């Protein structure tokens, strides 16, 4: 397994409990000492990169050269290939590749950026991404594309519209997207399926913004007055497992803001720090004091605090957030023009699960063609396997067969491209191999 956004290892290594946040002054002091010592272990180069990232200053990327980036992409492909198809965690990834290989391929660079160009960590996170996606949204065609607002239920939309996490209208002085989070107004003390689905959609939409993958996000957790709230350890674990371990989210810095006399928040922040991943632990910045003091400190980081959705009555203003939701809805509608739908014929190969798909004549015929060439396929190298799958696709199309996928699960069917069809045949070969071992 790759790195984890949430881990108790660092806390336990320094004599703290791995089952709870520090809740005494003695434990807080132990945590602070551990964090200070850990920071001192960083090399000068790592410290410089950290400071540059936090303040949004330009720095030399670990992989700015196009040739080096291509090498990382190739290494990632090797790392993904090395994970056995028999491993249960990989089934969701394989399904996504079978549905839409170009979509999965297009995610690679974003995941590499989120993992500082480490191919092995990236491969593991991509696998986990599709595990989490399948858990939240099911195993249908949605695995092979981005989550859209139209995929959300009424309950999901209600949570999205609460606005406890919002994108500011303007970026910071370094050009980075800023997220404003008011934990006191969210549903963060209970992780429901709707909270997870709505939050997944929100983060996906934010990460799709120009430059976010490269520069990272700036997050502000605003916990002053009525906006303040802490998240318990169990909830933090679940949120981390869903959103961070399996998402290509890259956070450059996270600012925690709270009242100077809020001791619970003071303790909680030390817990959040010692339970964070090594690469994120020192990206937390804490600001305690009055509202004016905290806003001034944030301004020194180039954050446009005048656009925070707050007022003197400490109520959350969702005016801009509702506009943002409407902008996303219009963007998605424009990107999804009317699609030509068709009626399945006898020799068509259908994507999807269920008895009707399995017993469809075209699917049974495709599996028969796979069975006839299975031994040859198993002995072939990668290039030869690709050739075999292409030949079977051509054979099916010669008999007027098409490869069809259900459009948004509404009973209408659309034809997929050549590469997606080939991946479907490769999927049949994988399933045949697995059944042979049972």
**DSSP helix/strand/coil, 437:** helix
**pLDDT (0 to 100) of residue 167:** 95
Identify whether residues 402 and 323 lie together within a single domain.
no
Residue 287 is given by DSSP the state: E
The tens digit of pLDDT for each residue in 265-295 reads 777 777 777 777 777 788 889 899 988 999 9
Q: Which of 359, 360, 357, 374 is nearest to 428 (CA)?
A: 374
Q: What is the mean pLDDT of residues 111-138?
A: 91
**pLDDT (0 to 100) of residue 233:** 54
**pLDDT (0 to 100) of residue 348:** 92
CA–CA dist 269, 284 (Å, integer)? 9
Residue 311 lies inside a defined structural domain of this protein? yes
Identify whether residues 300 and 285 lie together within a single domain.
yes
Give residue 241's pLDDT band: very low, low, confident or very high (50, 70, 90).
Answer: low
Listed residues 115, 144, 173: the one ending a domain: 144
The structural domain count of the chain equals: 3
Identify whether residues 105 and 186 lie together within a single domain.
no
Query: Which of 167-171, 226-230, 251-255, 361-365 is predicted least confidently?
Result: 226-230
**pLDDT (0 to 100) of residue 356:** 82
**Is residue 182 within 8 Å of 222, Cβ to Cβ?**
yes
Instruction: Return the percentage of the chain with pLDDT > 70, whole number.
Output: 87
Give residue 38's pLDDT band: very low, low, confident or very high (50, 70, 90).
Answer: confident
**pLDDT (0 to 100) of residue 177:** 93
Identify whether residues 326 and 421 lie together within a single domain.
no
63 CB contacts (<8 Å, ≥6 apart)?
69, 72, 112, 117
**pLDDT (0 to 100) of residue 437:** 74
Q: Where are the alpha helices (DSSP H) in 359-417?
A: 361-372, 374-379, 382-398
Identify whether residues 162 and 307 lie together within a single domain.
yes
Residue 109 lies inside a defined structural domain of this protein? yes
**pLDDT (0 to 100) of residue 62:** 47
Residue-number span of the structural domain to which 386 is assigned: 349-437
**DSSP helix/strand/coil, 178:** strand
* 350-353 long-range Cβ contacts below 8 angstroms, 24+ apart: 350/404, 350/405, 350/406, 350/413, 351/98, 351/99, 351/141, 351/403, 351/404, 351/405, 351/406, 351/416, 351/424, 352/140, 352/141, 352/405, 352/406, 353/139, 353/140
Give residue 388's pLDDT band: very low, low, confident or very high (50, 70, 90).
Answer: very high
How many other C-beta atoms can be found within 10 angstroms of the C-beta atom of residue 384? 12
**pLDDT (0 to 100) of residue 224:** 84
Identify whether residues 153 and 210 lie together within a single domain.
yes
Residue, of 223 and 308, whose pLDDT is higher: 308
Q: What is the mean pLDDT of residues 396-422?
A: 82
CA–CA dist 131, 247 (Å, integer)? 11
CA–CA dist 188, 262 (Å, integer)? 19
Identify whether residues 13 and 130 lie together within a single domain.
no
CA–CA dist 169, 319 (Å, integer)? 11
Identify whether residues 215 and 311 lie together within a single domain.
yes
**pLDDT (0 to 100) of residue 269:** 74
**pLDDT (0 to 100) of residue 1:** 47
Distances (CA, A) of 408 to 80, 151, 252, 359: 28, 9, 35, 21
**pLDDT (0 to 100) of residue 83:** 93
Residue 49 lies inside a defined structural domain of this protein? no
Identify whether residues 30 and 120 lie together within a single domain.
no
Distance between terminal CA atoms of the chain?
Answer: 26
Q: What is the mean pLDDT of residues 98-122?
A: 90
**Is residue 258 within 8 Å of 288, Cβ to Cβ?**
yes
Identify whether residues 368 and 291 lie together within a single domain.
no
The tens digit of pLDDT for each residue in 339-352 reads 556 678 888 999 88
Residue 232 has pLDDT above 80, yes or no: no
251 CB contacts (<8 Å, ≥6 apart)?
216, 217, 218, 219, 280, 283
Average confidence score pLDDT of the chain: 84
**pLDDT (0 to 100) of residue 160:** 92
Identify whether residues 284 and 173 lie together within a single domain.
yes
Which residue is associated with the tokens 């190298």?
A: 381
Listed residues 287, 304, 333: the one ending a domain: 333
Residue 315 has pLDDT above 80, yes or no: no
CA–CA dist 93, 104 (Å, integer)? 8
CATH code, domain carrying 258: 3.40.525.10
Q: Which of 201, 329, 252, 225 is nearest to 53 (CA)?
A: 252
Residue, of 203 and 183, whose pLDDT is higher: 203
Listed residues 144, 177, 192: the one ending a domain: 144
The tens digit of pLDDT for each residue in 145-192 reads 999 998 999 999 999 999 989 999 999 999 899 999 887 775 556 778
Query: Which of 20-34, 80-94, 150-164 is predicted least confidently?
Result: 20-34
Residue, of 163 and 16, whose pLDDT is higher: 163
295 CB contacts (<8 Å, ≥6 apart)?
305, 308
Instruction: Return the percentage of the chain with pLDDT > 90, whole number.
Output: 39
Query: Which of 10-24, 167-181, 268-282, 368-382 is predicted least confidently?
Result: 268-282
**pLDDT (0 to 100) of residue 13:** 84
Residue 52 lies inside a defined structural domain of this protein? no
Identify whether residues 315 and 173 lie together within a single domain.
yes
**pLDDT (0 to 100) of residue 208:** 86
**pLDDT (0 to 100) of residue 413:** 81
Give residue 107's pLDDT band: very low, low, confident or very high (50, 70, 90).
Answer: very high
pTM comes to 0.72
How many other C-beta atoms can be found within 10 angstroms of the C-beta atom of residue 141? 20
């Amino acid at each position: 397994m790759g790195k984890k956004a949430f881990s108790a290892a660092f806390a336990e290594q320094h004599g703290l409990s791995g089952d709870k946040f520090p809740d005494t002054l003695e434990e807080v002091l132990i945590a602070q000492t551990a964090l200070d010592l850990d920071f001192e272990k960083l090399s000068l180069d790592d410290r410089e990169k950290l400071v540059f990232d936090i303040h949004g200053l330009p720095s030399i990327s670990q992989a700015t050269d196009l040739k080096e980036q291509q090498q990382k992409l190739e290494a990632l492909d090797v790392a993904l290939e090395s994970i056995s198809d028999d491993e249960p965690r990989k089934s969701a990834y394989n399904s996504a590749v079978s549905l839409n290989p170009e979509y999965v391929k297009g995610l690679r660079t974003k995941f590499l950026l989120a993992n500082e160009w480490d191919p092995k960590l990236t491969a593991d996170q991509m696998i986990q991404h599709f595990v989490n996606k399948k858990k939240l949204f099911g195993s249908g065609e949605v695995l092979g594309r981005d989550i859209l607002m139209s995929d959300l239920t009424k309950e999901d939309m209600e949570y999205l519209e609460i606005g406890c996490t919002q994108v500011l209208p303007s970026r910071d002085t370094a050009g980075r997207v800023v997220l404003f989070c008011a934990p006191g107004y969210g549903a963060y003390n209970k992780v429901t399926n709707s909270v997870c689905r709505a939050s997944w959609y929100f983060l996906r939409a934010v990460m799709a913004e120009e430059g976010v993958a490269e520069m990272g996000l700036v997050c502000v957790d605003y916990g002053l007055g009525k906006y303040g709230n802490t998240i318990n350890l169990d909830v933090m674990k679940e949120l981390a497992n869903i959103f961070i371990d399996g998402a290509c989210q890259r956070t450059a810095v996270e600012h925690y803001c709270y009242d100077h006399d809020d001791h619970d928040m003071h303790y909680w922040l030390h817990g959040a720090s010692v339970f964070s991943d090594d690469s994120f632990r020192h990206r937390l910045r804490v600001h305690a004091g009055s509202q004016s003091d905290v806003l001034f400190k944030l301004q020194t980081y180039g954050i446009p605090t005048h656009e925070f959705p707050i007022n003197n009555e400490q109520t959350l203003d969702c005016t801009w957030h509702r506009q943002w939701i409407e902008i996303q809805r219009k963007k998605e509608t424009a990107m999804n023009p009317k699609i030509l739908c068709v009626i399945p014929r006898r020799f068509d190969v259908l994507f999807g699960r269920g008895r009707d798909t399995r017993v469809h004549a075209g699917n049974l015929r495709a599996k028969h063609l796979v069975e006839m060439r299975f031994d040859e396929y198993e002995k072939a190298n990668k290039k030869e396997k690709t050739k075999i799958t292409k030949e079977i696709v051509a054979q099916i199309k010669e008999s007027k067969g098409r490869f069809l996928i259900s459009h948004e699960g509404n009973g209408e069917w659309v034809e997929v491209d050549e590469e997606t069809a080939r991946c479907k045949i490769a999927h049949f070969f994988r399933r045949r191999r697995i059944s042979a071992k049972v």
